[in-house]
Amino acid sequence: MKKVLVTGGTGFLGSYLLRQLFKKGYELRGLRRSSSQTALVGDIYDKIEWIEGDVTDISSLEDAMKGVDHVYHAAAAVSFNSKDKTKMLQVNGDGTANVVNVALDLGIEKLLHVSSIAALGRKENQTRLDENAQWENSKLNSDYAISKFKAECEVWRGIQEGLQAVIINPTLIMGAGYWHSGTGKMFTQAEKGLMFYPQGGNGFVDVRDVAAVAIALMESDISGQRFIVNSENHLFKNAFTMMSKAFGRKAPFIKAPTWAIELMWRADNIKSVLLGVEPLVTKELARGLQTFFQYNNVKLQKAINFPFRTLEETVNNTAAVYNECKKNNLPFGLFKEN
């Protein structure tokens, strides 16, 4: 079996990647920061060889990649707060450059880079996107999007220098994990009950499916390509209605007008400054909620014909785990099956 390194292995997607790879019998190594929470890999933590460090530390990357055949690069800084711009450029942009450089130096057999649909770029006049989308500077592109675009540029540069690599661009990754971060917060809010819904929409995909697609592409002979990983496109109203139904709550019934969302992020920003807390709604997040961006997965289906779970199935599975966690006062949960 191949020896595999997963960066970002203690994170949401990384933990599912490691679990699926473990079940397939791979020899596993993970790169983790000293401050990383390890709850999401607690059941297999001792089955993995851990290297302490991060992607901005080249020496720790070299230690982590020595003797490795495949690298899944899932580590990333994610934020929609403008104060985190520099950190995201360092971790996502410079960190990916380091991963690519070390992979080239050590002769890594293949790299799979976990990018994001954000790296495709967003434009007001183009709301249907596929892998042929060309990046353009736009006010709709967040600082996170810019950092992930720069990261992709580093991978393409590595490919030009001879690295075997493939890129995936997942849409909104849904599933059981930490309930107070990422898309887990959507379930926390839906369980409390929602009155309002934003007018936009997005693509959605199950975390288990993203992990499985990543492994399938790594095990294939595909290289020098990128793939959108998306199950279904939905309006946020539809997604929140599914979540509300799964929790036995009334579906949101009032469309939040643009002016209200604009006012919301401004008010939340003032609150965060006065109280010194993280804003719940930032300008970038608020503006991303107001447009329905749709993503085409035809290229991936032609390549590997993957059977995606529906959003409804993912929502119902996740709500069931959430309810169990709430009964036991747990801040996180995991799907029992991958």
Position 265 in a domain: no
Please give the average per-residue pLDDT across 23-28, as a whole number: 97
Position 289 in a domain: no
Position 129 in a domain: yes
Please give the average per-residue pLDDT across 141-161, as a whole number: 96
Instruction: Record the pTM.
Output: 0.94
Structural domains counted in the chain: 1
The mean pLDDT value of the chain amounts to: 92
Name the residue among 93, 106, 92 with its Cα closest to residue 59. 106
Please give the average per-residue pLDDT across 320-331, as a whole number: 96
What residue type is assigned to position 3 of the chain?
Answer: K
Residue 123 has pLDDT above 90, yes or no: no
CA distances from 323 to 189, 193, 243, 333 (A): 13, 14, 12, 10
Position 242 in a domain: no
Position 258 in a domain: no
Q: What is the pLDDT of residue 291?
A: 86
Please give the average per-residue pLDDT across 189-198, as a whole number: 93
Position 51 in a domain: yes
Q: How many CB atoms within 10 Å of residue 303?
A: 16
Q: What is the pLDDT of residue 141?
A: 86
Instruction: Quote the percentage of the chain above a pLDDT of 90.
Output: 79
Taking CA 84 as the corner, what is the angle to CA 230 and CA 130, rounded to the nearest 5 degrees? 20
- 89: domain CATH number is 3.40.50.720
Domain that residue 38 falls in = 3-178+203-235+294-310
pLDDT in tens, 222-236: 999 999 999 999 999
pLDDT in tens, 248-286: 999 999 988 776 777 776 776 666 666 666 666 666 677
pLDDT in tens, 56-96: 999 999 999 999 999 999 999 998 888 899 999 999 999 99
Contact 165, 224 (CB under 8 A): yes
| Cα 157 to Cα 90: distance, rounded to the nearest angstrom | 17
Position 64 in a domain: yes
Contact 300, 197 (CB under 8 A): no
Residue 137 has pLDDT above 90, yes or no: no
